[in-house]
Amino acid sequence: MLAPEHVEQRLREQFPGVAFERQTGEAVRDHTLYLPAEHLVEVCTFLRDDPESAFAMLSWMGGVDYLPRVPRFECVYSLLSLKHVARFTLKVRVPEEQPRVPTVTGVWPTANWHEREAYDFYGITFTGHPDLTRILLPEDWVGWPLRKDSPLGYEEVAFTHNTPGRMKPSPALKKLAPKKVRYRAQ
Amino acid sequence: MTLNMGPQHPSTHGVLRVALELDGENVVACKPIIGYLHTGMEKQAEYKTYTQSIPQTDRMDYLSPMSNNLALCLAAEKLLGVTVPERVQAIRVLLTELTRISAHCVWLGTHAIDIGALTVFWYCFREREKVLSIYDMVCGARMTASYFRVGGLAMDIPDGFLERCDKFVNEMPGHIDEYESLLTKNPIWLARTKGVAPISAADAIAWGVTGPSLRGSGVHWDLRKAEPYSGYEHYDFDVPLGKDGDAYDRFQVRVAEMRQSTRIARQAIDSVRKLGARGEYRLRDFKYVLPPKEEVKTSMEALIHHFKIVAHGFFPPVGEAYQAIEAPKGELGFYFVSDGSARPWRMKVRSPSFVNLQALPVMVQGKLVADVIAAIGSIDIVLGEIDR
């Protein structure tokens, strides 16, 4: 077993110039380390290749929206070392104005779909990604559905009262209308 | 030539669309296109309490609802910092192992049908039916179980449940022999799966493949052994491994896993018996868990707790937690971010099918179109879980 504290210490020794920051909180159950986005790729490459940590697998990555916090978004990377049976979580803060993070598809190819999902849900751009397109939503979808300011579903149904352009039935519809039937009085 | 396989094609197991670039019968490029079954479960979870999300998870990997329930409950319990009683753990292990058997039954039946062996399907569905009726017995639903709760179970196991499981677990090894007699040495089966859609251990790890698909490539990685949850450290079982990482190895790993699951289920039944056929089925911490109905009728405090939990749900501390389990298809994990309210600020699902499917192009690059069918079957995907 590889203690996450050991990984953190090793990272601090290896990258003295990088401002790492341990996430603290009442119930942060996994050892989590913040780092600046520009160092993400080199740190990930080191963690993957360093035999003492050997995080050969990226378990998953995903975005989180912390509206109204500034910077607004975070990207979470959950690393997995099969060799040492350990997990380690890295986080990157992403500002709202320029939601850009360098891609880690070069380090772990599995990041491809996860990053596409984060782009799809939050509009976070991963620079250098080979195919950054929507993955779960239709490609013509407008907006970023998992952002906190995006409403839950609710697509307005077109009724006469909310669709001014359709107040008058079109002549084509008139043609289809049933003919008036005159009933004989009983 | 570009060929669209799916989204309405029986061999793509739902609504998967695979865009294939072909040169004759050879696959030049393969691109899985997903999202046809997207229902925004992660978004919906932000508007529901933790308990209300449990029925959602049944619909993710609808072949293994109990495993999905367990993953959500364990993640929420990790966030709360609570552990459930030993008896609950044993019941959960029993039911998730039965789930693994039934999920593998569906996988085997459909995988065999894809390749043209129609008979296996009827055998496999016969046993799956038995597991579904065990679900029915325990929670009243055959597929959408929603039986586990954060901090325990929805209700205690009914009378005669353990005997029913006993019977199933005793019969199952014989049935697995039946499946194997149909397939394992069948020359057509061997021709269609041996050496088909191989993936090396290094590739599998780089592409994040988990579960039987990873073990088929010979990587010893099973979360029940590596990061034991729900008391798996007390159970005696082996982790079957493959060698070449082809479709046949994945088949053998899953079939061997069914045998191991019956072993674990047998131990779990004994363990539940030892702890009492009736007994504790929930944590007695009524800040998080509904009090038993009998107490609600007699005790004022229990009534208040009942009311509070039904009306508001429970309030986890501010923080976050990720918990993964070894689901039938691989690592299934839930990541919760809590802002201290009764609803999760963020729920992220790490679903095994989503990640494993990504490795499909690696498996079929340069192979034949017919191999794509075998490859999709051998990864064992469920689109409900991929698209969520």
Note the helical H segments in B194-299. Answer: 201-206, 212-215, 223-226, 247-275, 293-298
Q: pLDDT band at A180, cuts 50/70/90?
A: low
For a pLDDT cut of 70, what percent of chain B falls above it? 100
Q: How far apart are the first and last CA of chain A?
A: 92
How many C-beta atoms lie closer than 10 Å to residue B353's C-beta?
29
Interchain proximity A60–B81, CB inside 8 Å: no
Average pLDDT over residues A24-30: 85
Which chain B residue has the Cα nearest residue A120? B35
Q: pLDDT band at A150, cuts 50/70/90?
A: confident
* A177 domain-assigned: no
The tens digit of pLDDT for each residue in B46-80 reads: 999 999 999 999 998 889 999 999 999 999 999 99
Query: Chain B within 8 Å of A30 (Cβ-Cβ)?
Result: yes
* A109 domain-assigned: yes
Q: Determine the pLDDT at residue A176.
A: 58
Q: Determine the pLDDT at residue B8.
A: 76
Q: Determine the pLDDT at residue A167.
A: 56
Q: Determine the pLDDT at residue B129.
A: 92
* A181 domain-assigned: no
Q: How far is B314 from chain A (nearest CA, A)?
A: 15
Half-sphere exposure of B37 (CA within 13 A, CB side): 19
Chain A residues within an 8 Å CB radius of B42: 121, 146
Q: How far is A7 from chain B (nearest CA, A)?
A: 18
Q: Determine the pLDDT at residue A185.
A: 56
| Chain A interface mutation, best of B323, B348, B351, highest count of A Cβ atoms under 10 Å | B348
Partners of A94 in the β-ladder: A73
Q: Determine the pLDDT at residue B353.
A: 92
What angle, rounded to 10 degrees, do the helices at B86-115 and B161-183 form?
A: 30
Residue B293: burial class (beta carbons within 10 Å; 0-12, 13-18, 19+):
exposed
Return d(Cα B340, Cα B361) in angstroms, integer.
42
Query: Chain A within 8 Å of B225 (Cβ-Cβ)?
Result: no
pLDDT at A12 over 70: yes
Q: Determine the pLDDT at residue A175.
A: 60
Using only C-alpha atoms, what is the Rg of chain B? 21
Q: Which long-range contacts (CB under 8 A, 24 or more apart) does B233-237 make?
A: B234/B271, B235/B93, B235/B264, B235/B267, B235/B268, B236/B263, B236/B267, B237/B263, B237/B264
Query: Chain A within 8 Å of B258 (Cβ-Cβ)?
Result: no
* A106 domain-assigned: yes
Average pLDDT over residues B12-20: 84
Pick the more confident residue, B92 or B3: B92
Chain A residues within an 8 Å CB radius of B208: 57-60, 108, 110
**DSSP code, position B24:** T
pLDDT at B7 over 60: yes
Peptide bond into B7 cis (omega under 30): yes
Query: Chain A within 8 Å of B78 (Cβ-Cβ)?
Result: yes
Strand-strand pairing, A125-127 and A27-28: unpaired
Interchain proximity A60–B348, CB inside 8 Å: yes
Which chain A residue has the Cα nearest residue B338? A27
* A185 domain-assigned: no
* A153 domain-assigned: yes
Return d(Cα B209, Cα B356) in angstroms, integer.
5
Determine which of A142-146, B45-49, B53-57, B90-94 has the lowest per-residue pLDDT on average.
A142-146
pLDDT at A181 over 80: no
* A123 domain-assigned: yes
The H-or-E segment that residue B349 falls in is strand B346-350
Q: Determine the pLDDT at residue B195.
A: 87
Q: Which domains does chain B have, with CATH numbers?
A: 2-387 (1.10.645.10)
The tens digit of pLDDT for each residue in B234-267 reads: 999 999 998 888 999 999 999 999 999 999 999 9
Work out how many domains chain A is built from and give that number: 1
C-beta of residue B254 within 8 angstroms of C-beta of residue B63: no
Which ipTM did the prediction report? 0.89
Q: C-alpha distances in angstroms, B208 versus A136, B173, B189, B224?
A: 19, 32, 28, 18
Q: pLDDT band at B176, cuts 50/70/90?
A: very high
Q: Determine the pLDDT at residue A14.
A: 87
For a pLDDT cut of 90, what percent of chain A falls above it? 40
Partners of B145 in the β-ladder: none
Interchain proximity B38–A136, CB inside 8 Å: yes
For a pLDDT cut of 70, what percent of chain A falls above it? 84
Q: pLDDT band at B6, cuts 50/70/90?
A: confident
The tens digit of pLDDT for each residue in B330-347 reads: 999 999 999 989 999 999
Q: Which residues contact B174 (CB under 8 A, 6 or more apart)?
A: none
Pick the more confident residue, B13 or B204: B204
Q: How far is B357 from chain A (nearest CA, A)?
A: 10
* A68 domain-assigned: yes
Query: Chain B within 8 Å of A91 (Cβ-Cβ)?
Result: no
Question: CATH number for the domain including A67?
Answer: 3.30.460.80
Interchain proximity A110–B350, CB inside 8 Å: no
Partners of B325 in the β-ladder: B332
The tens digit of pLDDT for each residue in A49-99 reads: 988 888 999 999 999 999 888 899 999 999 999 988 999 999 999 998 889
Q: To the nearest whole number, what is the mean pLDDT of chain B?
A: 90
